[in-house]
Amino acid sequence: MQPLLFGHTDAMQRLPSVQFEPVLQKRLEELWGQPVNLYRALGNNPALTAAWTEFANAIRHHSRTPRALRELMILRTAQMAHSEYEWAHHLRMARKSGVSESKIAALADWRASGEFDAQERAALALTEAVMVCDVSDAVHAEVKRHFSDAEFVELSLTAGFYAMVSRLLEAMRVDLDDDVRDYSPPLP
């Protein structure tokens, strides 16, 4: 059986896309430019959208770990969750942050690939463990060999937040934005 892909055009979005109150619209544009469909669906609850926005901004722009590392983690969550929306949007962000095409191509089978260094392997192991809600002592120890306590929190929050993103995309069946419909490579 083929896994379901979320954030695509085959299913109807469950919530209307909203117009934001002026203050929230301004903040979203300051941070992200024109709001994407995920934010327009979340906008059905303005207070939670505002809180979500600031939390997402902190993870993306106020973290100590390299953005490219966190984008690899996000792409891995998209693969595990079969989230086309998350994959399509974060391919562009991963490339902009310096993730190579060879790493993107090897990500689904990262354990068998020589593309990833020890830090990336530890972060990807943590990502997978967070996604299945089972961070073992061995995974924790390996992450701690490469990262500080603050960075462990940051990486755990990255994996956890983007696991939540994929689950919300599925729950709301958010339509894929027009500007990312022609993404490549396809979600493995």
Whether 57 is in a domain gets the answer yes
Taking all residues of the chain, what is their mean pLDDT, rounded to a whole number? 92
Q: What CATH number has the domain bearing residue 130? A: 1.20.1290.10
Please tell me whether residues 130 and 41 are part of one structural domain: no
Q: Are 72 and 123 in contact (CB under 8 A)?
A: yes
Q: Are 183 and 87 in contact (CB under 8 A)?
A: yes
At residue 1, the pLDDT reads 39
Please tell me whether residues 110 and 131 are part of one structural domain: yes
Task: Write out pLDDT tens, residues 130-164.
Answer: 999 999 999 999 999 999 999 999 999 999 999 99
Task: Write out pLDDT tens, residues 44-73.
Answer: 999 999 999 999 999 989 999 999 999 999
Whether 126 is in a domain gets the answer yes
Task: Write out pLDDT tens, residues 15-40.
Answer: 878 888 899 999 999 998 889 999 99
Confidence of residue 11 (pLDDT cuts 50, 70, 90): low
Q: How many CB atoms lie within 10 A of CB 176?
A: 23
Identify the domain containing residue 29 by its residue range.
Answer: 22-61
Number of structural domains in the chain? 2
Helices (H) and strands (E) in the chain, counts: 9, 0
Give the C-alpha separation, 187 to 178, whole Å: 17
Please tell me whether residues 87 and 123 are part of one structural domain: yes
Once rounded to an integer, what is the mean pLDDT over residues 93-101? 97
Q: Are 183 and 1 in contact (CB under 8 A)?
A: no
Please tell me whether residues 39 and 125 are part of one structural domain: no
Please tell me whether residues 87 and 27 are part of one structural domain: no
Nearest partner of 93 among 150, 172, 36, judged by Cα: 36
Cβ burial 121-143 (10 Å sphere, 16+ → b, else e): bbbbbbbbbbbeeebeeebbebb
At residue 10, the pLDDT reads 57
At residue 2, the pLDDT reads 47
